[in-house]
Structures are given as structure tokens and as C-alpha cells.
């Protein structure tokens, strides 16, 4: 297998999987986070405790779930709880990582998955809304956001804050009553990996995807990024990552 032959979804899955640590608790959503969690369990994090919104805790993702309420999210798990128990677990500070997506994001990691436009009653586009995203982004210690990268998505001000990032900057989350120390950790995109400055909470470039330049990232971002002197490059998917992803995680090609 030629490790250079991969598609954009496979790259996003592999980069996301590498962020999942062994023995960590991780709130998993539908789509790429499920594949990333399964890949992580099979590659480097066999004791990853996956947590699903509808109550599955600690499932072994031997077969790919198709939704957060799929019976496979309970497979050989530690507990079969319910949605209220899961949200309480996150609120009490027991969930380390949470995966999120959205239609828009700003420089402080605030996410919009509710409307496009400035009129909530009559928006240009009405999106699915929060689901459990607000709970995840408000209470998990580190949230990882997965998005396609473009100027219509990375904008100076989101049309609606569905899920709080760092709100208006340093100290704003705490002032709003959210748990200190929680918030966005990484933004994994089709172009790069982004993080947040410790002091200002402003988004900054951390690593480029293979073949991507800093100029491309800047051109596709609607606000100014912090560009550090040292920028890493995300390694492409390895032969083993691709083999497991294609032959074990998603052999029916539901997502890849």
C-alpha cells in the first residue's frame, strides 16, 4: 500500500486519532470522531474510554457505530447509562476530551451550528443546532474541533454562539461561569492544526498538513492568525494507519 495515496477525510481521521491519549476519557460524536476513536484504540490507545451522548461508556469500537445511539456504542463497555448521566459526568469534570464541529468558528474558538444570518427567526440558513455540543464545549477539559478550512467558516464573528469557546478572550469563560481550565484545545482542519495562545486565547497556527503552505492557511482564514516562528508539519497517514482504517475501522466505506 502506498502511504502517500490517501484522501482528505483519511488525513483528518488520522490527525484526530493521534490527539487521543491512552487511559483518557473522550466524548465522541458521529462521523470522523468515531473513526478517530476506533483508530486510536487499535493503534496506540487501547484503554481509551469512549463516551457517547446516549449512554455508552468505555465501548470497544470493534465495529463502527453509525450514530451516538447505535448499539455498538455499548459494545463490551464499562457502563450503559443514559443521556442525563452522561451530561452530569461531563459537568462534574470527569471527561477530558470532547470532539465538536460547526459551520462557523471565530478566533476564540466560539462555534456556530445554529443559523447563518443575523435574524434568528428568519435566518438565511437554519442549521441542526446544538444537540449536546454546548454541554461538551462548556464542561469538557479539552475540546477538539474538526472543520473544513475556508473564509466562510473561519470568520471574525460567528452569526450565533452555539458552543462557547473562549468567548471574548482571556478570562471570559470564567467570568461567564464556565469551569476554569476548560475550553478549546485544538482545531483540526483540511489545511492545518491550530491551537490557542495561553495568554490571549487567540487562535494560532501549530502545524501544516502535507503540501500546505502558511500562505494558503492565511488566505483561507477570515481573521488574523498568530503565526509562530516554528511551525510543525503533520505527518501523512502511515501505511499501518491506512490499513487499519480501511480494513478494520471502516471497511464498508461509510465515511472514507
* Residues identified as active-site: 53
Helix (H) or strand (E) holding 28: strand 25-28
* CA–CA distance, 36 with 59 (Å, rounded to integer): 14
C-alpha cell at 71: 448499539
Estimate the crossing angle of helix 32-43 against helix 8-18, to 10 degrees.
60
* CA–CA distance, 104 with 255 (Å, rounded to integer): 22
Tell me the pairing of strands 203-208 and 232-233. Answer: parallel
Radius of gyration of the chain (CA): 18
* CA–CA distance, 16 with 80 (Å, rounded to integer): 26
Inter-CA distances, 52 with 29, 68, 138, Å: 7, 6, 16
Contact 141, 135 (CB under 8 A): no
Q: How many residues does the chain have?
A: 256
Inter-CA distances, 132 with 13, 75, 193, 220, Å: 21, 22, 24, 28
Q: What is the dihedral of CA 48, 52, 57, 61, to 10 degrees?
A: -50
Amino acid at each position: 500500500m502506498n502511504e502517500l495515496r490517501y484522501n482528505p477525510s483519511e488525513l483528518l481521521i488520522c490527525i484526530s486519532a493521534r490527539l487521543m491519549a491512552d487511559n483518557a476519557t473522550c466524548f465522541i460524536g458521529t462521523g470522523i470522531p468515531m473513526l478517530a476513536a476506533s483508530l486510536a484504540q487499535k493503534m496506540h490507545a487501547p484503554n481509551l474510554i469512549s463516551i457517547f451522548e446516549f449512554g455508552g461508556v468505555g465501548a470497544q469500537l470493534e465495529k463502527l457505530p453509525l450514530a451516538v445511539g447505535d448499539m455498538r456504542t455499548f459494545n463490551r463497555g464499562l457502563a450503559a447509562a443514559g443521556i442525563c448521566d452522561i451530561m452530569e459526568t461531563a459537568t462534574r469534570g470527569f471527561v477530558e476530551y470532547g470532539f465538536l464541529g460547526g459551520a462557523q468558528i471565530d478566533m476564540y474558538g466560539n462555534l456556530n451550528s445554529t443559523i447563518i444570518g443575523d435574524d434568528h427567526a428568519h435566518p438565511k440558513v437554519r442549521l441542526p443546532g446544538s444537540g449536546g455540543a454546548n454541554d461538551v464545549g462548556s464542561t469538557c477539559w479539552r475540546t477538539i474541533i474538526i472543520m473544513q478550512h475556508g473564509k466562510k467558516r473561519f470568520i471574525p464573528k460567528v452569526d450565533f454562539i452555539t458552543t462557547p469557546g473562549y468567548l471574548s478572550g482571556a478570562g471570559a469563560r470564567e467570568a461567564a461561569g464556565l469551569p476554569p481550565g476548560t475550553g478549546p484545545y485544538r482545531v483540526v482542519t483540511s489545511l492545518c492544526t491550530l491551537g490557542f495562545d495561553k495568554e490571549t486565547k487567540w487562535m494560532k497556527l501549530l502545524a501544516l498538513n502535507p503540501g500546505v503552505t502558511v500562505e494558503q492557511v492565511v488566505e483561507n482564514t477570515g481573521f488574523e492568525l498568530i503565526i509562530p516562528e516554528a511551525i510543525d508539519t503533520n505527518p501523512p497517514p502511515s501505511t499501518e494507519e491506512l490499513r487499519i482504517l480501511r480494513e478494520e475501522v471502516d471497511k464498508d466505506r461509510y465515511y472514507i
